[in-house]
Amino acid sequence: MSTQGYDEELRAERDYVAGLYTRLDAERVRVKAEYDAALRGTGGTPMERDVAVRALAKERKRLDVSDSGLCFGRLDTLSGEHRYIGRIGLFDEEDSYEPVLLDWRAPASRPFYVATAANPEGMRRRRQFHSQGRRVVDFTDERFGCPGADERGDAALLAAVNAPRGEGMRDIVATIQAEQDEIIRLDHPGVLVIEGGPGTGKTVVALHRVAYLLYTQRERMERHGVLVIGPSPTFLNHIGRVLPSLGESDVVFMTTGDLVPGLRVTAEDTPEAARLKGSLKILDVLAAAVADRQRLPEQPVPIELADVTVRIDAETAEWARDEARASGLPHNEARAVFTEIVTYVLTERAIARIGRGWLTRDDREAWEDMRAELLSELADSDEFTAALDELWPILTPEGLLASLYTSPERLRAAGADQALLRAEGDAWTVSDVPLLDELVDLLGRDKAAEKSAEAAAERQRRAEASYAAGVLDTLVDRQDSMDDEDHLFATDLLYAEDLADRFGERDTRDLAERAAADRDWTYRHVVVDEAQELSEMDWRVLMRRCPSRSFTVVGDLAQRRSVAGATSWGRMLDPYVPGRWVYRPLSVNYRTPSEIMAVAASLLAEFAPDIQPPESVRACGVRPWSRQVTEDELPAAIDEFVQAEAGREGTSVVIGPPGVPGAVLPSETKGLEFDAVLVVEPMRILAEGSPRRGRTLRRPHPRHPAPRSPAPRPATAGSGRTRPSRGARVRR
């Protein structure tokens, strides 16, 4: 179009998008007012008020999308219809709720991502907006069916991937490519495996798939939410803004170390210990450790009662143990069976001795009266309780595992490798988490403790109801002396239980907060990033969290560092979803410059010659460089890099082995991307730590180049300035 025509179109688009923001702001104000009113409200039942508050809270979060790029494009159909595409859907309430902005996930929006000149999907034109904040700066058009029309304009894509990164990963909602869109919208109820090298966008594609599933399967998924598993808290913080920017919040972000609520991971396993704990063979060790605590007395244990002394002998304990194990109940719950058998034997023996010469079984009433007295005595007997605690103790996952790790004798009894032995058994590692989670099911609940807690809670509730009833009576008495027009408050307080609920604390946590605090919570969908690092035991935990087996699995087997990780996807998934998982590769590198990939590919060829690195679609014009310095010169070399990057736009990081001042460890940057990176002593990184550490350095991550030739210590290696697609925290 002419320059004048373009300017007129641009003004019209700016006005339209400004109107969308006006509508969005009005919706935000309206929903916030309704939310505040619902929090203060007294109408309806407590449950009705709670439902209203939660629904309005979700709507507030849906509207709290990124202000930048609310609307990022337009589709023109062959019939002349204009469809504006954006992060969320907005409707014209005055015109039969006609859409004024289509959600990018709506079926009508799909041509925006997949239409081509060869297959225009009924479209005449695709228009892409370039915005700064709320203002449309310019736009580009692609006319389908016109001579010389390209398959897909790449101006918006290249602008996005070349832009400096800020704090956190950005969504790609405006620049999703056709191969990515196919994966995002894939209709598969089981497990989807997305594999691709660094820079292919597999993580952000998985997150957009979550947003798509939450949009298309809202009713099925919203009550249970989605779990996203990442390799580190830093990584989760890095990706955490993507889904909220798309209007989705019912998502829980965790590492595998967070899967047992309340547990703190403070230690690190040796590679051998991690391998042992990650194998399914550890299940036999755990079962043996539990069985080892179900004991028989070496000598009969005397229990002194008022009129007789009875003894728990090995034969009685063995019968009780066999019955308890045969019940199929978890250890702590099976204690009731064990106790019942032992109690039966002891009372039978006591009655026989006390009633010798005068009591027969025909005298059932006297027999049962005596049994009742003996049962009461046993229940109050500290000796009997101590004997039960010795023979069939109530166990906790943490206590059992800590005692196993600190006792060579218990390790031998459980058939465990001595590599698991450590001085402090309660300093937990990431590899301990799936074991502790397994023990929750093996041990079960302490029913007695739970009943006691429930009884205390019921007493508290009754006390609050009694207090509320007193308040109600006082209010009614006061208002009896008032005029009729002042009677509204008294009639509002009709039930003491309702008033007690108002005095009590209401659970205002959202779904994500409630799910994260509940070990037994199950999710409708689970995303696993860097999935190649997960062990067999990790997968067992995650499958327990998602009974429907609906997963999006993201990884790259060539990047596996953990000795307990995946060597094939089938090995990890076939035991749980045979025939229900599909594989989709990503082969195009949208993020990493070709200069970086050339260096990374040379190292990849050394240990994985069968792996084809992804092909980069862009170059940055700067090749990685290396520099050798002395030990004394190293701090100045690092400072030189930091100072040079401090004045530039984007993110940067210094990566090095332990002990390098100002550097982060390679493991802490897993999954992250930066605009510039300095790698300190790469050969030491290769030589130390995990036997697979080379894969950390190898990753064709634009910010982790390896030196082109081995350099003796001390040395530094770095990249030139690059333009990756995703940002992370700046390390100055």
pLDDT digits (tens, 9 = 90+) for 502-557: 545 556 678 888 999 999 999 999 999 999 999 999 999 999 999 999 999 999 99
pLDDT of residue 624: 87
Q: Which of 416, 432, 412 is nearest to 424 (CA)?
A: 432
The answer to whether 451 is a known ligand-binding residue is no
Question: How many whole angstroms separate alpha carbon 471 and alpha carbon 496?
Answer: 9
Q: Which CATH class is domain 184-261+519-586?
A: alpha beta
pLDDT of residue 473: 64
**Angle at CA of residue 207, ends 203 and 213, nearest 5°:** 140
Helix (H, G, I), strand (E, B) or coil at 653: strand
Give the pair of three-digit tokens for residue 447.
């029913």
Question: How many whole angstroms separate alpha carbon 117 and alpha carbon 176?
Answer: 17
The answer to whether 61 is a known ligand-binding residue is no
Cβ(177)–Cβ(214) below 8 Å: no
The answer to whether 80 is a known ligand-binding residue is no
pLDDT of residue 53: 86
The answer to whether 300 is a known ligand-binding residue is no
Sheet containing strand 135-143, edge to edge, reads 90-92, 98-103, 82-86, 71-77, 123-132, 135-143
Helix (H, G, I), strand (E, B) or coil at 369: helix
Q: CA 285, 287, 290, 291 torsion: positive or negative? A: negative
Domain-by-domain residue ranges, the chain? 3-146, 184-261+519-586, 271-290+398-443, 294-394, 601-691
Which parts of 588-707 are beta strand (E)?
A: 588-589, 615-616, 625-627, 652-655, 676-680
3-state helix, strand, coil in the chain (%, to 5): 45, 15, 40
123-132 vs 525-528, strand pairing mode:
unpaired
**Structural element, H or E, at residue 139:** strand 135-143
Give the pair of three-digit tokens for residue 625.
């460089």
The answer to whether 168 is a known ligand-binding residue is no
Cβ(138)–Cβ(130) below 8 Å: yes
Q: CA 194, 196, 198, 199 torsion: positive or negative? A: negative
The answer to whether 41 is a known ligand-binding residue is no
Backbone angles phi, psi at 86, to 5 degrees: -150, -170
For the chain, which residues score pLDDT lower than 50?
147-153, 486-494, 503, 690-691, 693-694, 697-732
The answer to whether 277 is a known ligand-binding residue is no
pLDDT of residue 672: 80
pLDDT of residue 682: 86
pLDDT in tens, 625-680: 888 988 888 889 999 888 888 878 778 899 998 888 888 888 788 778 788 889 99
* Residues in a beta bridge with 99: 91
Diameter of the chain measured on Cα atoms: 119
Question: Cβ–Cβ contacts within 10 Å for residue 631, how many?
Answer: 8
Cβ(238)–Cβ(672) below 8 Å: yes
The answer to whether 689 is a known ligand-binding residue is no
Helix (H, G, I), strand (E, B) or coil at 577: coil
Q: Which of 408, 403, 400, 670 is nearest to 555 (CA)?
A: 670
Cβ(529)–Cβ(231) below 8 Å: yes
* Residues in a beta bridge with 103: 86
pLDDT of residue 712: 33
What b/e string do you get for 405-443 counting C-beta neighbours within 10 Å, with b at 16 or more? beeeebbeebebeebbbbeebeebbbbbbbbbbbbbebb
Place of tokens 């469809």: 83
Q: Which of 361, 393, 355, 394 is nearest to 374 (CA)?
A: 355
- List all residues 6 or more positions away from 692 whose beta carbon is below 8 Å from its beta carbon: 560, 561, 562, 563
Question: Cβ–Cβ contacts within 10 Å for residue 192, how many?
Answer: 20
Q: Which of 154, 144, 147, 79 is nearest to 118 (CA)?
A: 144
